[in-house]
Amino acid sequence: MIDAAIIEIRAGAGGAEAGLFAENLYRMYSRYAQIQGWQQKLLSSHSTGLGGFKEIIFEFRNGDVFSKMKYEGGVHRVQRIPKTEKSGRIHTSTATVAVLAKPKKAQMKMNSSDLKIDFFKASGPGGQYVNKRMTAVRITHFPSGIVVSCQTERNQLQNKENAMAVLEAKILEKKQREEQEKMSGNRKAQIHTAMRAEKIRTYNFPQDRITDHRIKKSWRNIEEIMDGKLEKIVKTLQKKLEN
């Protein structure tokens, strides 16, 4: 059992409303983690300045985290009337979720020569500098081309540790995806790798309905689910997609 996972949520199509939806998803998963008794740690975030997120990366651990969260990866779509909408029109926005297994220390061995580590000043919404010290960290992994950055903490060392955790998880996921793509006969692997790019779920607020398109099933009480009551969806997905 993998007892830790790193979750990355990014605002997709829909402008400011997509950023607000990304924040809603983060709150939903955070509340779900609290209910499950998992530990949470914020690794990186970039806010929109309007209460939403362009991107937020966080870690859940100490529980059956990955087995419950792995089917959340993909494109999530929301249909609702934004607070800023004066004419009452329903808008459609999206956010993407990636769920990465956090590698154990023995799984990842990286050469320092493969890394470029840059330090810079942390910035706030709009790009203005909010920290005079060089606490933010950007790490480039040359072999994979993966770049990660972190500026959440005020401490440079902590930001570096957080960025390394995200980098290691992304490298492991990339390796696993490449291995799965070579195994053309492994249907489950093909399904799993496709999830990141596909629309997996729609949150329709006017109709009080959440629909998961992979299993063609809907649930009511959307506000309750958005408040972290996600277990019934998780269990249904495990049952349907693992058989």
Q: Looking at the structure, do residues 218 and 160 belong to the same domain, yes or no?
A: no
Kindly state whether residue 193 falls inside one of the protein's structural domains.
Answer: no
Q: What is the mean pLDDT of residues 10-32?
A: 95
Q: What is the domain range of residue 214?
A: 4-102+198-232
Kindly state whether residue 22 falls inside one of the protein's structural domains.
Answer: yes
Amino acid at 41: K
Question: Which residues are within 8 A (CB) of 56 and not within 5 positions of it... i.e. 6 or more apart?
Answer: 8, 9, 22, 23, 26, 42, 44, 45, 46
Q: Looking at the structure, do residues 97 and 215 belong to the same domain, yes or no?
A: yes
- Lowest-confidence pick of 63-72, 80-89, 132-141, 191-200: 191-200
Q: Looking at the structure, do residues 20 and 97 belong to the same domain, yes or no?
A: yes
Cβ atoms of 22 and 8 within 8 Å: the answer is: no
Q: Looking at the structure, do residues 60 and 90 belong to the same domain, yes or no?
A: yes
Sorting pLDDT into bands at 50, 70 and 90, what band is 187? very low
Q: What is the CATH number of the domain that holds 220?
A: 3.30.70.1660
How high is the pLDDT of residue 197?
52
Report how many domains make up the chain.
2
Q: What is the mean pLDDT of residues 129-155?
A: 83
Q: Looking at the structure, do residues 163 and 116 belong to the same domain, yes or no?
A: yes
Kindly state whether residue 9 falls inside one of the protein's structural domains.
Answer: yes
Grouping H, G, I as helix, E, B as strand and the rest as coil, residue 5 is strand
How high is the pLDDT of residue 183?
60
Q: Is the torsion defined by CA of 74, 75, 77, 83 positive or negative?
A: positive
Kindly state whether residue 135 falls inside one of the protein's structural domains.
Answer: yes
Kindly state whether residue 237 falls inside one of the protein's structural domains.
Answer: no
* N-term to C-term CA, the chain: 18
Q: What is the phi/psi pair of residue 130, to 5°?
A: -115, 0
Q: What is the mean pLDDT of residues 113-130?
A: 73
Give the separation between CA 228 and CA 32, rounded to whole angstroms.
4
Q: What is the mean pLDDT of residues 28-46?
A: 95
Strand ranges across the sheet with 53-61: 39-47, 53-61, 4-11, 91-101, 74-80, 199-204, 209-212, 217-219
Q: In the Cβ-directed half-sphere of 167, how many Cα atoms lie within 13 Å?
A: 27
How high is the pLDDT of residue 33?
97
Q: Looking at the structure, do residues 116 and 160 belong to the same domain, yes or no?
A: yes
Q: Looking at the structure, do residues 168 and 202 belong to the same domain, yes or no?
A: no
Q: What is the pTM of this model?
A: 0.81
Q: Is the torsion defined by CA of 91, 94, 95, 101 positive or negative?
A: positive
Kindly state whether residue 239 falls inside one of the protein's structural domains.
Answer: no
Which residues, listed in sequence order, are joined to residue 91 by a DSSP beta bridge? 80
Q: In percent, how much of the chain has pLDDT > 90?
A: 58
Kindly state whether residue 226 falls inside one of the protein's structural domains.
Answer: yes
Q: Looking at the structure, do residues 140 and 69 belong to the same domain, yes or no?
A: no
Q: Looking at the structure, do residues 40 and 152 belong to the same domain, yes or no?
A: no
Give the separation between CA 184 and CA 14, rounded to whole angstroms.
35
Cβ atoms of 26 and 47 within 8 Å: the answer is: no
Kindly state whether residue 56 falls inside one of the protein's structural domains.
Answer: yes
- Lowest-confidence pick of 92-96, 101-105, 147-151, 189-193: 189-193
CA distances from residue 77 to 6, 91, 96, 97, 216 in whole angstroms, order as listed:
21, 10, 9, 11, 15
Q: Give the pLDDT confidence of 205-241 residue by residue, as tens digits.
A: 999 999 999 999 999 999 999 999 999 999 999 999 9
Q: Looking at the structure, do residues 92 and 34 belong to the same domain, yes or no?
A: yes
